[in-house]
Amino acid sequence: MSYIPHTKKIALVDCNSFYVSCERLFKPHILKKPVVVLSNNDGCIISRSSEAKVLGIKMGDPYFKAKEIIIKNGVYVFSSNYSLYGDISRRVMRILKYLVPNIEIYSIDEAFLDLSSIPNNMISSFGEKVRDTILQWTGIPTSIGIAKTKTLSKIANHIAKKQKSGIVNLIGIENIDLILEKIKINDIWGVGRQTSKFYIKLGINNAKQLKNISNNWIKNNSNVLASRTAMELRGISCIDLETYQAKRKTCCVSRSFGEKVENFQILAESVASHSLNAAEKIRSESLLAKAITIFIRTSLFQNKKIFYSNSKTIDFPIATDNSIEIVKNALGGLKSIFKKGYKYQKTGIILSGLLDSKKTHNLFSSSKEKRIKSLMKSIDYTNYRYGRSTLSLADAGLNKKRNIRRKYSSKIDTANFDCLPIVKVN
């Protein structure tokens, strides 16, 4: 009996300029117009419509640097609105799950689909069906790349984004060298800035060259990740689809300030507020944290002499999801690293060593802990029912919204009744 390797067929569905497309859903007049979406605090450009890309606006550029082009060309600008993007993303993913049983949600705007059971001659038309359904049911345009491995499907998707059809299928193409030759080394999934530099120095400039290099050479000169990428370019699948949602291992909440902060009390309020958000997040996922890290820093773009960055990690005696305990430790940690006289730009906390609370039993569980548990439950429920921060801790301050720039908010939130658009009837 011989083993016949099962050929995989993997599609990567990627929403086009996702955040921009979400904003466009409620503003049809900005269709076909240049649009950008800014990061928190209106700092950087994190989503661009194709019309904005043509103008030379780069991904990740600070807003103030691109401002001239933006004003000159009448580019529409939006502050980011994550509750809207999260909601639209869930709708897109639900449709994908409905169409394909095995999918891996890879990011807010991307998913891998397992199309292995679909015959080769029907793959492309199935892709079209996926694309049409998402567009019709949500209004979000997508691009789809299909190939034998995740890395190749990423490449197919990269090409699809530039084509009108929006679909590129590499399944059944005998020799893809001609295609890979046109893919720059730094456009390959898993090859970042550092590795690109390394390859280019050696004259390896495109995906075809990386594909045809000997695996031994890579193993000796690089690491397992690089050899995996090369294998995947050859059509040998090394990176499996993760169709079940693994529990996360860390939970980070951090923010920059709109204006630099010297005052300890304001830092403390932001750290407390981040801690509360993180605690709520892990409770909603039934997780317990073993440790918390608190970090603060001044701006990276200022004089190095006045730069200060520090962090403190504190282990909890028993893994916890208790907001009160988490905030108390966060504030203790902050006190230990705070230095007077610096203009702080950012604070954050990381909960780590996350465990599944359903699988964790505490030997010393007391009635006091049960009471805290039910307190946390009612806080979460109240905040869910009546809006975030209806119930909070005094440590987090009463006016948290100050000191965050969101000048260009579209004020649309599909998950909040107060933000429903108003239709006037004459």
Q: How far is the CB of 240 from DNA (least distance, A)?
A: 11
Site for DNA, residues 137 to 166, rule: CB under 7 A: 154
Neighbouring-strand partners of residue 30? none
Q: Which stretch binds DNA (CB under 7 A): 3-11, 182-190, 356-364, 371-379?
A: 182-190
Query: Beta-carbon neighbour count of residue 280 at 10 Å?
Result: 19
From the list 139, 141, 190, 235, which residue makes contact with DNA (rule: CB under 7 A)?
190
Among 55, 99, 108, 419, binds DNA (CB under 7 A): 108
Q: Which of residues 354-393 bind DNA (CB under 7 A)?
A: none
Min CB(356)–DNA separation in Å: 13
Give Rg (Cα) of the chain: 24
Q: Is 346 in the site for DNA (CB under 7 A)?
A: yes
Nearest Cα to 287, choosing from 320, 325, 315, 330? 320
Contacts 24+ apart (CB under 8 A), 301-310: 302/343, 306/342, 306/343, 308/339, 308/342, 310/337, 310/339
Residue 30 carries which side chain, given as an amino acid letter? I
Residue 151 is which amino acid? T
- Residue 121's Cβ-count burial label (10 Å; 0-12, 13-18, 19+) is exposed
Q: Which residues pair with 298 in a beta bridge?
A: 344
- State yes or no: residue 249 binds DNA (CB under 7 A): yes
Distances (CA, A) of 220 to 131, 211, 216, 223, 237: 42, 16, 6, 8, 21
Q: Does 235 bind DNA (CB under 7 A)?
A: no
**Which strands form 45-48's sheet, in the order they lie side by side?**
45-48, 35-38, 76-79
Q: Looking at residues 389 to 418 of the shown chain, list those that interact with DNA (rule: CB under 7 A).
A: none
Check if the beta carbon of residue 167 is closer than 8 Å to that of residue 13.
no
In the complex, the smallest distance separating the C-beta of residue 7 from DNA, rounded to whole angstroms, is 24
**Using rule CB under 7 A, residue 205 touches DNA:** no
Identify the three-state secondary structure at position 333: helix
Residue 264 CB, nearest approach to DNA (Å): 20
Among 256, 270, 320, 329, binds DNA (CB under 7 A): 256
The dihedrals phi and psi of 218, each to the nearest 5 degrees, come to: -65, -45
- Nearest approach in angstroms of CB 35 to DNA is 17
Single residue of 250, 383, 389, 416 touching DNA by CB under 7 A: 250
Residue 423 token pair: 């239709």
Identity of the residue, 290 or 373, whose beta carbon is nearer to DNA in the bound complex:
290
The answer to whether 17 contacts DNA (rule: CB under 7 A) is: no
- Please enumerate, as own/partner, the contacts of 38-45 that have beta carbons within 8 Å and a separation of 24 or more: 38/63, 38/77, 38/78, 38/79, 38/80, 38/408, 39/80, 40/80, 40/255, 40/256, 40/404, 41/255, 41/256, 41/257, 41/258, 41/404, 41/405, 41/406, 42/79, 42/405, 42/406, 42/407, 42/408, 43/256
Query: What is the nearest approach in angstroms of DNA to the Cβ of residue 310?
Result: 11
Should residue 193 be labelled a site residue for DNA when binding is judged by CB under 7 A? yes
Nearer to DNA, 372 or 404 (CB): 404
How would you list the strands of the sheet with 10-15, edge to edge? 103-107, 110-114, 10-15, 142-147, 167-169
Q: Using the rule CB under 7 A, is 255 a contact of DNA? A: yes
Q: Does 273 bind DNA (CB under 7 A)?
A: no
Among 252, 314, 318, 391, which residue interacts with DNA (rule: CB under 7 A)?
A: 252
319 interacts with DNA by CB under 7 A: no
Nearest CB to DNA, comparing residues 129 and 219: 219
> How far from 122 is each of 95, 127, 330, CA to CA, in Å?
20, 9, 55
Interface segment toward DNA; rule CB under 7 A; list 43-51, 124-132, 209-217, 376-384: 43-51
Q: Is 107 in the site for DNA (CB under 7 A)?
A: yes
Selected from 194, 216, 220, 399, the binder of DNA by CB under 7 A is 194
Residue numbers 274-293 binding DNA by CB under 7 A = 281
Could you say whether residue 195 binds DNA (CB under 7 A)? Answer: yes
- Using CB under 7 A as the binding rule, whether residue 260 contacts DNA is answered as yes
Q: Which of 28, 29, 220, 301 touches DNA by CB under 7 A?
A: 301
Return residues touching DNA (CB under 7 A).
39-41, 43-44, 46, 60, 62, 64, 106-110, 154, 188-196, 223-225, 246, 248-256, 260, 281, 299, 301, 313, 345-346, 348
